[in-house]
């Protein structure tokens, strides 16, 4: 039996009012493994932690048991203090005697004391089996891979290069700029899109830290935060690189409304992007135009609002109004989505310029009149209850952005998640640019449809997250924690007993478990850099092969065994 | 860590945006001083019961970030503190920060509750249900400084001799993250604020119904503590209104949908009606969130802005007069509770400042991020109405700007 020292805290009377600590001391002293039991006024105050630590060192205790308050209260301060003084974390057990015994059973001191004794005995039993996860450290490659050369990717790459980090920029197409190449101007500043691209690519072009790979396609990814090994093909041939962090900024695709509102059949029924192209080429010829919002969006097939179709329509409606003040311009919408200060002001501006807004219902969509071209549009205005015939010769369909087809391919390679629409998914809203895999970040419309301006903001945000990883020389697996301090531990596999069933692979939310062929059989291997110590695999493993050393199943078993004996 | 000679960054505001900016900068090796006006970190999000669209408890994820912030070696936090002076200096900015005296030393308070029992004025209050480690503070407005609590404190944490602490700070950048406050609707009688206890703002309603709040998640009326039969959620109350707040507050549509959902979830018999202008659900899963509310949960949406909200004679219920703009019908409906949503305005920055340079503001009071050096770095609601995810994204982007400006790598 391991030599155990027990420290009990009175909390200045908050505990020993209900729990009889003297009786407890006597009873605990009789346990074989106990070498000392001491009672203190307070264990958590800074000055007392030193004395406790020196007591532990001088008496040669192997395990330490603290009976104090809850971990969330001051218990954590005691444990952390002792760890800082050099006591091994896995050798310390904390039992909550204040909130869980003294306070909640204040009216029943006898049973409170009994419960305290039981809790302490259970923790002593568990302490015998608690172990420590073996940490690993890797050297961080101070380079980043940015996938996608649109506004998000370009601003991320430029930001990283400004910090002196080497960047590999992979672009699917032949030229940089992404969707900005397709449009004429950007909202709300009404800047020319080409000027925006020029400003972004100028910094990329002259910076020798950034290497651009056009026509790039990722074929294989291995590794972990700090050292990803990526293989891809590009216009310069097959490449293999090793990078510390990855930023996914692959953007999104435009939905083509085939068959909707006569698109493809009727002349002058065009999409927003086709209108943009007309603006790029020169002026738009129309005597009256109608913009139809939510075409193929906010329906059962695509139940989401793509954020940028409303502002984009307003931008182009105002431009038509500016160029042809006599033309009547209508925006047919289901809700005008202009949240915030800047966009609401933009909406007001459109109203002031004479753009007319008509609200229609999903159940009664507008009708395009005409057999081979647009002769007019009939729409039921729900606000007035009147069906109107609009004299227009151009119908612009505002369609949403939809996820790229290769998102699944990339997500599988990197182990990140997609949401049910097919966009890249963040770990949770409070950490919107981080994925479940450490070292892989998302930004721009690949994450969720956004304007070019927002995409650039997100690019910079993702860059700072990547930079905080790349700035380190080495990174330890236990330090890659999403919670304060270090990770609780990481799962380890007993290779002899693993049957290769793959249960752990299926339940791991961080894509840390993988089956590997060793000799003639498959066994599970845990990537320590990815594992977050959640313990899902432990509960899914049929024969206890995979374990979190800090919460070994024998420790839990010993606690249960004591509790029910 | 390199860059010891470089001055730190001053972050003003300790809500999600401020926390996000401070952590992003410190993780990348920059020293940060964070000044928060309130007693605790977390800002408005810490007061929320649930977060949309995940419906998770708001505080748990926030708490891990607050904890990381407090334990970060490069971050110094100053709670219950204000920036009294701010001037441009050769190396950036010179700030004078005043930290109000904390009569109870947080690091020594063991939350034993002895002072609480001794105090006759109920001036000892908990820092909040969600603050860990838990501790007490003195409500200085109620406290009579009688000193009875001082000798009973076993750790000697209480000391009324402490005074406000003033210190100078030289910093290279200032990041504004002051967040939002509620715009007072009392002067505008059409909203009925103050005329009936059951007319409340959405943040008051959140606090009133929170699981960690006074009613422990139980849905009761403020007036007679009975279960309400019908609740009206009024969107754009004061917002998108050229007389009051001309902008859209961006977060309120989802906020109302979330509150209505949770009312329905806990009490299926309560009728919930949301009066809206445009249902702005632009983020990930937001639109589906609204669909679920309308379909499964049976929340009713009416497009229209109520013109008058007034208590019925005898205090039994509240009348809401509105025109349903989809059917062009004018109606008056009776509700038991009315929740006003949308009256959010940016927290005033620099109002408490005695002297120094002010950031350039827009007409509505937002910090103008396109403006001069002092206001360039602004994130969250103080720059533009933003929800949690958007605030954190902006915060990271601002952090990047402080890094790229000089190479401490």
Per-residue confidence band for B405, with pLDDT thresholds at 50, 70 and 90: low
CB atoms A45 and B108 under 8 Å: yes
Q: Is residue A363 situated within a structural domain?
A: yes
Tell me, yes or no, whether A383 and A514 share the same domain. no
- pLDDT of the residue at A509: 87
CB A350 within 8 A of CB A314: yes
CATH number at residue A25: 3.40.50
Task: Tell me the per-residue pLDDT of B198-236, one tens digit each, with 9 for 90 and over.
Answer: 999 999 999 999 988 889 889 999 999 999 999 999 999
CB atoms B280 and A44 under 8 Å: no
Which chain A residue's Cα is nearest to B285? A304
Question: Mutate which of B2, B48, B112 to test chain A, going by most A C-beta atoms within 10 A?
Answer: B112
Per-residue confidence band for B5, with pLDDT thresholds at 50, 70 and 90: low
Q: Least CB-CB distance to B385: which of A307, A340, A432?
A: A340
- pLDDT of the residue at B352: 66
Cβ–Cβ contact A47 with B under 8 A: no
- pLDDT of the residue at A428: 84
CB atoms A341 and B282 under 8 Å: no
Q: Specify the number of domains making up chain A.
A: 4
CB atoms B287 and A463 under 8 Å: no
What are the tokens at B254? 């989802």
> Can you tell me which residue has the tokens 């809850």?
A70
Q: Which residues of A touch B154 (CB under 8 A)?
A: 12-13, 41-42
CATH topology of domain B9-100+164-179+347-404: FAD/NAD(P)-binding domain (3.50.50)
- pLDDT of the residue at A20: 94
What are the tokens at A536? 């899902």
Tell me, yes or no, whether A422 and A355 share the same domain. no
For A200, the 3-state DSSP assignment is helix
Evaluated on CA atoms B116, B118, B122, B123, the torsion sign reads negative
pLDDT above 80 (res B371) = no
- pLDDT of the residue at B163: 92
Q: How far apart are CA A238 and CA B241, in angstroms?
A: 59
Q: Which CATH architecture has domain B184-343?
A: 3-Layer(bba) Sandwich (3.50)
Which residues, other chains included, contact A70 with Cβ-Cβ below 8 Å and sequence gap of 6+?
A: A96, A98, A99, A100
Q: Is residue A348 situated within a structural domain?
A: yes
Q: How far apart are CA A443 and CA A455, in angstroms?
A: 7
ipTM value: 0.93
pLDDT above 70 (res B406) = no
Would you report the helix, strand and coil content of chain B in percent, each value rounded to 5?
25, 25, 50
Question: Mutate which of B9, B28, B303, B361 to test chain A, going by most A C-beta atoms within 10 A?
Answer: B28
Q: How far apart are CA A55 and CA A51, in angstroms?
A: 6
Which chain B residue's Cα is nearest to A425? B284
Q: What does the domain layout of chain B look like in residue ranges?
A: 9-100+164-179+347-404, 184-343
Residue A263 sits in which domain range?
A: 255-399
Tell me, yes or no, whether A364 and A470 share the same domain. no
Tell me, yes or no, whether A322 and A420 share the same domain. no
Q: Which residues of A touch B54 (CB under 8 A)?
A: 428-429
CATH number at residue A540: 3.30.70.20
CB atoms A430 and B394 under 8 Å: no
- Radius of gyration, alpha carbons of chain B: 23
Per-residue confidence band for B89, with pLDDT thresholds at 50, 70 and 90: confident
Count of Cβ atoms closer than 10 Å to residue A195 Cβ? 12
Q: How far apart are CA A523 and CA A448, in angstroms?
A: 37
Distance from CA of A339 to the nearest CA of B (A): 5
CB atoms B366 and A348 under 8 Å: no
Cβ–Cβ contact A461 with B under 8 A: yes
Tell me, yes or no, whether A457 and A501 share the same domain. no
Which residues, other chains included, contact B204 with Cβ-Cβ below 8 Å and sequence gap of 6+?
A: none
Q: How far apart are CA B233 and CA B403, in angstroms?
A: 43
Tell me, yes or no, whether A395 and A259 share the same domain. yes
pLDDT above 50 (res B407) = no
- pLDDT of the residue at A260: 93
Tell me, yes or no, whether A267 and A377 share the same domain. yes
Number of residues in chain B: 409
Task: Tell me the per-residue pLDDT of A246-267, one tens digit each, with 9 for 90 and over.
Answer: 999 999 999 999 989 999 999 9
Q: Which residues of A touch B392 (CB under 8 A)?
A: 430-432, 461
Which of A213, A193, A277 is closest to A456 using CA atoms? A193
B75-78 sheet: strands from edge to edge: B75-78, B32-35, B9-12, B173-176
Which of A151, A150, A152, A404 is closest to A253 using CA atoms? A404
Question: Mutate which of A157, A341, A402 to test chain B, going by most B C-beta atoms within 10 A?
Answer: A341
Please identify among residues 316-345 of chain A the ones whose CB lies closer than 8 Å to any CB of chain B.
335-345
Q: What is the mean pLDDT of residues B7-13?
A: 94
For the CA atoms of B139, B140, B143, B148, what is the dihedral angle to 10 degrees? 90
Residue where one domain finishes, among candidates A399, A422, A448:
A399
CB atoms B132 and A72 under 8 Å: yes
Evaluated on CA atoms A275, A276, A282, A288, the torsion sign reads positive
Tell me, yes or no, whether A276 and A233 share the same domain. no
Task: Tell me the per-residue pLDDT of B107-149, one tens digit each, with 9 for 90 and over.
Answer: 889 998 899 999 998 999 988 777 878 899 999 889 999 999 9
CB atoms A484 and B384 under 8 Å: no
CB atoms B28 and A307 under 8 Å: no
Which chain A residue's Cα is nearest to B279? A335
Which chain B residue's Cα is nearest to A484? B68
Q: Largest alpha-carbon pair distance within chain A?
A: 98
Can you state the angle between helices A309-323 and A340-352, rounded to 10 degrees?
30
Tell me, yes or no, whether A151 and A236 share the same domain. yes
Size of interface A-B (CB pairs under 8 A): 188
Q: Which residues of A touch B386 (CB under 8 A)?
A: 340
Please identify among residues 146-165 of chain B the ones whose CB lies closer than 8 Å to any CB of chain A.
154-155
Q: How far apart are CA A559 and CA A553, in angstroms?
A: 10
- Give me the DSSP letters along A477-503: GGG--SSSSS-S---EE-TTT-----H
Mean model confidence pLDDT for chain B: 90
Q: How far apart are CA B313 and CA B311, in angstroms?
A: 7
Tell me, yes or no, whether A217 and A171 share the same domain. yes
CATH number at residue A329: 3.50.50.60
- pLDDT of the residue at A118: 95
Q: How far apart are CA A243 and CA A110, in angstroms?
A: 62
Tell me, yes or no, whether A440 and A389 share the same domain. no
Tell me, yes or no, whether A203 and A216 share the same domain. yes
Cβ density class A388-419: b for 16+ within 10 Å, e for less: eebebbbbbbbbbbbbbeebeebbebbbbbbe
pTM recorded for the entire structure: 0.93
Q: What is the mean pLDDT of each run of 10 residues along chain A (565 residues)?
A: 90 90 94 91 90 90 94 92 91 94 94 95 93 92 96 96 94 93 92 92 89 95 94 94 97 94 93 94 90 95 94 96 94 95 96 96 94 93 94 96 95 94 92 94 96 95 95 90 83 93 92 91 92 92 92 91 90
Nearest 5°: the CA angle A227, A229, A235 is: 135
Please identify among residues 509-548 of chain A the ones whose CB lies closer than 8 Å to any CB of chain B.
none
Distance from CA of A244 to the nearest CA of B (A): 15
Please identify among residues 143-172 of chain A the ones whose CB lies closer than 8 Å to any CB of chain B.
159, 162-164
Q: Is residue A19 situated within a structural domain?
A: yes
- pLDDT of the residue at B355: 72
- pLDDT of the residue at B57: 85
pLDDT above 80 (res B245) = yes
Please identify among residues 462-491 of chain A the ones whose CB lies closer than 8 Å to any CB of chain B.
462-465, 467-468, 471, 482-485
Q: Is residue A159 situated within a structural domain?
A: yes
pLDDT above 80 (res B404) = no
Q: Least CB-CB distance to B288: which of A159, A303, A468?
A: A303
Q: How far apart are CA A526 and CA B65, in angstroms?
A: 27
Q: How far apart are CA B147 and CA A355, in angstroms?
A: 68
Which chain B residue's Cα is nearest to A458? B393
Q: How far apart are CA B98 and CA B336, in angstroms?
A: 45
Distance from CA of B382 to the nearest CA of A (A): 11
Count of Cβ atoms closer than 10 Å to residue A246 Cβ? 29
Q: What is the mean pLDDT of residues B350-361?
A: 76
- pLDDT of the residue at B409: 41
């Amino acid at each position: 039996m391991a030599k155990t020292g027990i420290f009990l805290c009175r909390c200045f009377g908050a505990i020993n009012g209900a729990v009889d600590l003297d009786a407890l001391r006597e009873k605990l002293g009789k346990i074989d493994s106990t070498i000392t039991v001491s009672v203190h006024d307070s264990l958590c105050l800074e000055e007392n932690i030193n004395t406790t630590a020196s007591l532990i060192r001088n008496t040669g205790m192997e395990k330490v048991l603290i009976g104090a308050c809850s971990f969330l209260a001051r218990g954590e301060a005691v444990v952390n203090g002792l760890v800082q003084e050099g006591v091994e974390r896995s050798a310390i057990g904390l039992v909550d005697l204040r909130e869980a015994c003294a306070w909640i059973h204040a009216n029943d001191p006898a049973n409170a004391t009994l419960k305290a004794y039981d809790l302490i005995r259970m923790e002593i039993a568990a302490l015998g089996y608690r172990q420590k996860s073996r940490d690993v450290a890797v050297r961080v490659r101070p380079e980043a891979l940015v996938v996608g050369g649109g506004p998000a990717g370009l601003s991320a790459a430029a930001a990283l290069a400004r910090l002196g980090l080497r960047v590999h920029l992979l672009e699917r197409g032949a030229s940089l700029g992404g969707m900005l190449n397709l449009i004429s101007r950007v909202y709300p500043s009404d800047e020319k899109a080409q000027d925006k691209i020029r400003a972004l690519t100028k910094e990329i072009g002259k910076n020798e830290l950034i290497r651009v790979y056009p026509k790039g396609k990722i074929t294989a990814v291995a590794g972990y935060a700090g050292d990803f090994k990526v293989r891809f093909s590009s216009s310069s041939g097959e490449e293999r690189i090793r990078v510390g962090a990855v930023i996914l900024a692959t953007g999104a695709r435009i939905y083509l409304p085939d068959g909707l509102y006569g698109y493809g059949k009727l002349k002058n029924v065009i999409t927003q992007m086709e209108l943009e192209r007309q603006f790029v080429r020169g002026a738009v010829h129309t005597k009256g135009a109608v913009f139809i919002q939510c075409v193929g969006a906010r329906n059962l097939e695509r139940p989401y609002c793509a954020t940028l179709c409303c502002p984009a329509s307003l931008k182009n409606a105002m431009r038509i109004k500016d160029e042809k003040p006599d033309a009547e311009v209508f925006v047919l919408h289901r809700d005008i989505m202009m949240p915030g200060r800047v966009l609401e002001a933009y909406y007001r501006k459109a109203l002031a310029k004479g753009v007319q807004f008509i609200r229609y219902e999903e159940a009664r969509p507008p009708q395009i009149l005409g057999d081979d071209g647009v002769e007019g549009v009939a729409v039921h205005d729900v606000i007035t209850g009147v069906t109107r015939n609009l004299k227009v010769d151009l119908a612009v369909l505002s369609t949403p952005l939809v996820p790229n087809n290769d998102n699944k391919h990339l997500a599988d390679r990197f182990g990140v998640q997609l949401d049910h629409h097919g966009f890249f998914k963040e770990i949770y809203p409070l950490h919107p640019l981080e994925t479940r895999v450490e070292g892989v970040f998302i930004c721009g419309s690949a994450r969720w449809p956004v304007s070019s301006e927002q995409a650039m903001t997100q690019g910079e945000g993702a860059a700072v997250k990547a930079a905080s990883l790349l700035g380190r020389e080495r990174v330890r697996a236990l330090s890659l924690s999403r919670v304060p301090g270090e990770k609780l531990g990481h799962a380890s596999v007993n290779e002899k007993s693993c049957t290769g069933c793959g249960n752990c692979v299926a339940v791991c939310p961080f894509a840390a478990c993988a089956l590997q062929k060793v000799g003639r059989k498959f066994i599970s291997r845990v990537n320590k850099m990815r594992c977050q110590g959640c313990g899902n695999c432990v509960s899914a493993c049929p024969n206890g092969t995979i374990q979190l050393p800090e919460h070994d199943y024998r420790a839990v078993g010993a606690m249960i065994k004591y509790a029910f004996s | 860590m390199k860059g010891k000679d470089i001055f730190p960054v001053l972050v003003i505001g300790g809500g999600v945006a401020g926390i996000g900016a401070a952590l992003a900068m410190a993780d990348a090796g920059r020293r940060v001083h964070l000044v928060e006006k309130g007693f605790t970190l977390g800002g408005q999000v810490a007061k929320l019961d649930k977060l949309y669209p995940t419906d998770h408890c708001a505080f748990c994820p926030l708490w891990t970030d607050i904890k990381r912030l407090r334990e970060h070696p490069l971050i110094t936090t100053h709670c219950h503190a204000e920036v009294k002076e701010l001037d441009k200096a050769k190396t950036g900015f010179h700030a004078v920060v005043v930290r109000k005296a904390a009569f109870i030393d947080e690091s020594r308070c063991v939350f034993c509750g002895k002072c609480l029992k001794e105090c006759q004025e109920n001036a000892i209050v908990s820092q909040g249900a969600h603050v860990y480690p838990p501790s007490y503070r003195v409500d200085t407005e109620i406290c009579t400084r009688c000193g009875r609590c001082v000798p009973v404190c076993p750790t000697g944490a209480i000391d009324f001799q402490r005074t406000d602490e003033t210190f100078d700070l030289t910093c290279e950048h200032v990041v504004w993250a002051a967040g939002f406050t509620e715009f007072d609707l009392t002067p505008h009688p059409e909203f009925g604020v103050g005329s009936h206890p059951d007319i409340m703002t959405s943040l008051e309603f959140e606090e009133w119904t929170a699981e960690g709040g006074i009613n422990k998640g139980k849905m009761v009326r403020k007036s007679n503590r009975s279960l309400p039969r019908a609740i009206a959620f009024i969107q754009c109350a004061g917002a998108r209104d050229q007389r009051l707040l001309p902008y859209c507050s961006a977060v309120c549509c989802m906020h109302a949908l979330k509150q209505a959902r949770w009312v329905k979830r806990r009490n299926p018999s309560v009728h919930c009606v949301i009066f809206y202008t445009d249902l702005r659900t632009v983020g990930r899963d937001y639109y589906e969130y609204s669909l679920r509310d309308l379909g499964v949960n049976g929340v009713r949406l009416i497009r229209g802005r109520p013109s008058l909200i007034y208590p019925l004679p005898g205090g039994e219920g509240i009348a809401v007069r509105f025109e349903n703009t989809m059917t062009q019908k004018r109606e008056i409906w009776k509700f038991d509770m009315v929740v006003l949503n949308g009256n959010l305005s940016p927290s005033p920055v620099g109002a408490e400042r005695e002297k120094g340079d002010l950031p350039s503001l827009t007409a509505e009071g937002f910090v103008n991020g396109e403006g001069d050096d002092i206001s360039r770095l602004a994130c969250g609601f103080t720059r533009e109405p933003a929800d949690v995810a958007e605030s954190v994204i902006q915060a990271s982007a601002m952090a990047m700007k402080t890094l790229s400006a000089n190479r401490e790598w």
